[in-house]
């Protein structure tokens, strides 16, 4: 069903905040292997590519039976390459018409959620062409301020209950999907009319700081109850 979709897992060894983040222990394995195993429940190992510059991370990919994309060292140093260069430098080598960009540092988005997102992408983007891309989000019904004022409600006697707040969407950084030709042309993995695929709260945890990692590990049992 997803034969035309190549899956990219970008995996740099270096990280500015957490050293060797891809190899952090996670439920008996490591973050990269955990993500590979999740995606093997969704699509063929022939469709899954770990893009990395590091031999250790390549070995993790090989040992789990998926494909390896050798990332140029220039593209692995985020302080040198711009993000659009990283995207196109990887996607150009993925031999599929459509690409799913999936980060290992968002560990609690489940195979069930990925599978449903892929199904929505096939229906809404490929078949019906209602949208031109897809990305994962959390729907936020919360109260927001900028530096000076409330921005989505009246902070006075006209206070709005949270259920009636306007929809705000937080990008989870867990999944982006678009056709390869458009990615290469516009140098980005979202178009002008993307489908906002809403995932559960824990699926939105993005490991950027060590606190995020601790939260993700603490919620593994909650995750397992949901799959």
3-state secondary structure string across the chain: CCCCEEEEEECCCCCCCCCCHHHCEECCEEHHHHHHHHHHCCCCHHHEEEEECCHHHHHHHHHCCCEEEECCHHHHCCCCCCHHHHHHHHHCCCCCCEEEEECCCCCCCCHHHHHHHHHHHHHHHHHCCCCCEEEEEEEECCCCECCCCECCCCCCCCCCCHHHCCCEEEEEEEEEEEEHHHHHHHCCCCCCCEEEEECCCHHHCCCCCHHHHHHHHHCHHHHHHHC
Predicted pLDDT at 16: 65
pLDDT class for 77, splitting at 50, 70, 90?
confident
Check whether domain 5-136+171-226 has CATH 3.90.550.10, yes or no: yes
Predicted pLDDT at 14: 72
For residue range 202-213, what is the model confidence (pLDDT) as tens digits?
A: 999 999 999 999
Q: How is the chain split into domains, by residue range?
A: 5-136+171-226
Predicted pLDDT at 78: 67
pLDDT surpasses 90 at 74: no
């Amino acid at each position: 069903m997803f034969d035309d979709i190549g899956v990219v897992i970008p995996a740099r060894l270096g990280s500015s905040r957490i050293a060797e983040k891809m190899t952090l222990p996670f439920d008996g394995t490591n973050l990269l292997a955990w993500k590979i195993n999740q995606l093997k429940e969704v699509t063929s190992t022939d469709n899954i590519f770990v893009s990395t510059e590091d031999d250790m991370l390549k070995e993790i990919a090989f040992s789990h039976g998926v494909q390896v994309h050798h990332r140029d060292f220039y593209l692995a140093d985020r302080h040198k390459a711009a993000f659009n260069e990283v995207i196109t430098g990887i996607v150009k080598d993925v031999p599929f018409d459509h690409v799913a960009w999936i980060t290992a540092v968002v560990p609690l988005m489940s195979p069930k959620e990925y599978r449903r997102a892929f199904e929505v992408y096939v229906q809404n983007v490929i078949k019906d062409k209602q949208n031109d891309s897809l990305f994962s989000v959390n729907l936020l019904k919360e109260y927001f301020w900028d530096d000076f004022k409330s921005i989505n409600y009246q902070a006075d006697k006209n206070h709005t209950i949270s259920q009636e707040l306007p929809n705000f969407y937080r990008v989870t950084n867990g999944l982006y999907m678009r056709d390869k030709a458009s990615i290469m042309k516009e140098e980005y993995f979202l178009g002008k009319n993307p489908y906002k695929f809403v995932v559960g709260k824990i699926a939105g945890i993005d490991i950027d700081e060590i606190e995020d990692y601790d939260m993700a590990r603490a919620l593994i049992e909650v995750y397992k109850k949901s799959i």
